[in-house]
């Protein structure tokens, strides 16, 4: 504390602050004294990360559709490692803020491009498991981070410890193939045959008919030369795609808005910092199993709609729980969080199946932008000051999102379409494989 802190005319320890180092030896806040009149700068650094995710979703979505899934994924992964490591060496706060934005762009590209890449490399029967497998890596990282932070309590070393070891992603260039779907759609037939032949041999599957199948699919995919490379404009040129883009954008906004909003309440727990972060991660684990079950046995629309209704219903009950029943409040808040979390996971899969290969990453980038809007605005709604008003807003928007899912096409057990033209012509997406 400042030596004059106990003086009645000076209660702010801004001149010579001493920080509580019980959990953290040094942080961005202590390094640049982001307290008192500089407190808003800490929020700026966090906001720049989300702004970067928004920008990265757009940028890498375009790169993926134009230059390939492999290129976009490897570039995003490498940049994430590079920018995180460099952020540990900056001497000025404004430089740190810039790198937070750049880290966000790489993170946005990694989340979307890697997911679409996996979906396109997977067969119809394996798709329901992809979302859960991706989230296992997220939750594992979420659980391991407080453990690493417990032993590495200096923020610069923590940045290095969580970035440099992942430099091996550069080796993925030699290990990961390009998406055969993207290669076929963009006219790279011979390369697609080469990749599919390699995959078939590794899985001990027949290779005799690969060329014939590729030529057939390519003929369907390239009936219109203009569609060899997609862009964000293609999301609005045709009526069905335009409708799907607007509906999914709103649903993604509500997913992020509800999930991060509920997180604000659960995050206000007292106790050990590292333990609280781990408990927050553990509370999401049941969602992995629920999503797989829903993806296997429920239609896509039913699964997403049910998750939203669970979130909306639990929040509705939350409003009427007496304030002295803290445990009951926590239980319903966690149920609401699980509902929003499972809706978020399922909408990733649902959206990737709705849009054709030619604009799949662009579509995912577009809707991800609206998810960022949801995550931006959630804290402001939480801080309205009247709890029942905040909860009611989350509840109503989740219910509206559930209702709008009804107007999206059903995609369970369907073949991924390749072109906008195919999507516009198809009346039913129920094409079993």
* Predicted confidence (pLDDT) per residue in 195-208, tens digit: 888 888 888 888 88
What pLDDT, on a 0 to 100 scale, did the predictor assign at position 387? 77
pLDDT in tens, 221-231: 555 444 456 66
- Rounded (5°) CA angle 45-23-21: 85
Within-domain flag for 109: no
Residue 202 or residue 428, greater confidence: 202
Q: What are phi and psi of 2, to 5 degrees?
A: -65, 140
Q: How confident is the model at residue 4 (pLDDT cuts 50, 70, 90)?
A: very low
Lowest-confidence segment of 52-61, 66-75, 156-165, 278-287 by average pLDDT: 278-287
Across 92-101, average pLDDT: 90
Instruction: Give the whole-angstrom CA distance, residue 175 versus residue 293.
Output: 31
* pLDDT tens-digit map of 111-127: 888 888 888 888 777 87
Residue 26, helix vs strand vs coil: strand
Asked if 58 and 40 touch (Cβ cutoff 8 Å), the reply is no
Quick check: 63 and 117 in contact, CB under 8 A? no
Residue 129 lies in a domain: no
Q: Does residue 394 contact residue 315 with C-beta atoms inside 8 Å?
A: yes
- Residue 1 in this model has a pLDDT that exceeds 50: no
Q: Which residue has the higher pLDDT, 196 or 42?
A: 196
- What is the structure's pLDDT at 225? 43
Q: Please, what is the end-to-end C-alpha distance for the chain in angstroms?
A: 68
> Would you say residue 69 lies in a domain?
no
3 state SS for 135-203:
HHHHHHHHHHHHHHHHHCCEHHHHHHHCCHHHHHHHHHHHHCCCCHHHHHHCCCHHHHHHHHHHHHHHC
**Structural domain of residue 27, as residue ranges?**
1-31
User: Is residue 11 one of the residues assigned to a domain?
Assistant: yes
Q: Please indicate, yes or no, if residue 428 is contained in any of the structural domains.
A: no
Measured in degrees and rounded to the nearest 5, phi and psi for residue 239 equal -65, -45
* pLDDT greater than 70 at residue 235: yes
Distances (CA, A) of 321 to 318, 337, 394: 5, 17, 16
Give yes or no for a contact between 413 and 124, defined as CB atoms under 8 angstroms apart: yes
Q: What is the pLDDT of residue 386?
A: 78
| Residue 163 clears pLDDT 50, i.e. is over it | yes
Most confident of 75-89, 175-189, 309-323, 356-370: 75-89
Q: Does pLDDT of 8 surpass 60?
A: no
What are 53's two structure tokens? 């995710």
Count structural domains, the chain.
2
344 within domain boundaries: yes
- What is the distance between the alpha carbons of residues 176 and 255, in angstroms, rounded to a whole number? 31
User: Residue 142 is inside which H or E element, if any?
Assistant: helix 127-151
The CATH number of whichever domain residue 301 belongs to comes to 1.20.1250.20
Is this prediction's pTM over 0.75?
Answer: no
pLDDT > 70 fraction of the chain, expressed in percent and rounded:
83
On whether the CB atoms of residues 187 and 228 are closer than 8 A, the answer is yes
Calpha distance 431→418 (Å, rounded): 14
Stretch 338-346: mean pLDDT, rounded? 89
Structure tokens belonging to residue 49: 């990360």
Is the confidence at residue 269, as pLDDT, over 70?
A: no
Query: Which pLDDT score, from 0 to 100, does residue 154 have?
Result: 87
Nearest-10 Cα torsion for 7, 9, 14, 19 = 30
Residue 302 counted as domain residue? yes
Domain-located, residue 324? yes
């Amino acid at each position: 504390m400042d030596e004059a802190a106990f003086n009645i005319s000076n209660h702010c320890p801004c001149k010579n602050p001493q920080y509580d180092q019980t959990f953290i030896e040094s942080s961005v806040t202590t390094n640049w004294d982001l307290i008192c009149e500089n407190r808003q700068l800490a929020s700026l650094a966090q906001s720049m990360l989300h702004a970067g995710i928004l920008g990265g979703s757009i940028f890498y979505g375009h790169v993926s559709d134009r230059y390939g899934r492999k290129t976009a994924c490897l570039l995003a992964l490498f940049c994430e490692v590079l920018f995180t490591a460099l952020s540990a060496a900056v001497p000025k706060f404004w430089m740190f803020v810039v790198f937070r934005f750049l880290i966000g762009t790489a993170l946005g590209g990694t989340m979307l491009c890697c997911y679409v890449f996996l979906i396109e490399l997977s067969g119809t029967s394996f798709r329901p498991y992809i979302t859960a497998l991706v989230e296992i890596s997220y939750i594992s990282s979420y659980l391991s981070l407080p453990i690493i932070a417990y032993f590495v309590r200096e923020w610069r070393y923590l940045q290095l410890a969580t970035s440099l070891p992942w430099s091996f992603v550069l080796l993925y260039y030699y290990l990961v193939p390009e998406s055969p779907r993207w290669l076929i759609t963009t006219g790279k037939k011979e390369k697609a045959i080469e990749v599919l032949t390699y995959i078939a041999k590794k899985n001990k599957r027949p290779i005799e008919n690969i060329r014939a199948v590729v030529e057939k699919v390519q003929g369907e995919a390239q009936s219109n030369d203009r569609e060899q490379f997609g862009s964000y404009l293609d999301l609005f040129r045709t009526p069905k795609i335009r409708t799907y883009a607007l509906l999914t954008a709103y649903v993604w906004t509500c997913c992020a808005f509800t999930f991060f909003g509920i997180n604000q309440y659960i995050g206000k727990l007292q106790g050990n910092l590292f333990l609280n972060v781990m408990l927050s991660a553990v509370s999401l684990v049941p969602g992995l199993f629920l999503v797989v079950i829903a993806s296997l046995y429920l239609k896509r629309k039913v699964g997403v709609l049910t998750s939203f209704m669970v979130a909306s219903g639990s929040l509705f009950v939350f409003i009427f729980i007496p304030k002295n029943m803290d445990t009951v409040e926590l239980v319903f808040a966690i149920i609401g969080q699980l509902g929003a979390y499972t809706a978020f996971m399922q909408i990733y899969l649902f959206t990737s199946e709705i849009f054709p290969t030619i604009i799949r990453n662009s579509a995912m980038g577009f809707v991800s932008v609206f998810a960022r809007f949801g995550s931006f605005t959630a804290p402001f709604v939480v801080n309205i000051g009247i709890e029942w008003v905040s909860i009611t807003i989350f509840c109503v928007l989740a219910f509206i999102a559930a209702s709008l899912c009804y107007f999206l096409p059903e995609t369970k057990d369907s073949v991924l379409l390749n072109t906008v033209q195919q999507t516009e012509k198809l009346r039913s997406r129920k094409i079993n494989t």
